[in-house]
Homo-oligomer: A and B are copies of this chain.
Amino acid sequence: MFTPQPIGLVRCSFNDATTIPKGLGAQHSQEGLLEILPDFALGLTDIEGYSHLIVLWTFDRAEGFDLLVTPPTDNRPHGLFTTRMPRRPNPIGLSIVELLGRDGNSLRVRGIDMLDATPILDLKPYLSNIPSEKLRRGWLAEAEARKG
């Protein structure tokens, strides 16, 4: 196994997890910066052509995990791997952000749902969608329907 290393840090106004929108219908429209370390900046070449990026990062303030959890989107317990909750065997978070602009090593993005100073592990281009008519969203769709 590899040893994780940050390639950069998130800069945003979320200093406390309670301030990040969660639950059914949560909107992630927050803007912020992905500040990539100078050692890795060459890897950003041509990134301006992409509208959306996949960001992998660490839940660096989470410890341990439970395999059955009650997420903020429901009042019933579900398997951890059907949720995006922070406390995981490998505490890796995933966000899809919209790339608004680039200033050197710094990417301005919309869709931040991480805390300020979160270590970034990787960036990948967002390339394609699953056709919506083929997508089933399990208990989350049921929770939305119950909420009506």
Which chain B residue has the least Cβ–Cβ distance from A123?
Answer: B81
- Selected contact of A4 from candidates B4, B43, B82, B141, CB within 8 Å: B4
Residues of B within 8 A of A68 (CB): 42-43, 45
Chain A contact residues (Cβ within 8 angstroms of B): what range? 35 or more
Residues of B within 8 A of A46 (CB): 78-79, 82, 138-139
A50 touching B137, Cβ below 8 Å: yes
A148 to chain B, nearest CB (A): 18
A145 to chain B, nearest CB (A): 12
B50 touching A7, Cβ below 8 Å: no
The majority secondary structure among interface residues of chain A is: mixed
A51 to chain B, nearest CB (A): 4
A4 touching B78, Cβ below 8 Å: no
List A1-40 residues whose CB lies under 8 Å from chain B.
1-7, 40
Provided the pairs A81-B122, A96-B130 are in contact, do residues A67 and B90 lie with their beta carbons within 8 angstroms?
no
Which A residues lie at the B interface, using CB under 8 A? 1-7, 40, 42-54, 56, 58, 60, 67-68, 77-84, 88-92, 94, 96, 98, 119, 121-127, 129-130, 132, 134-142
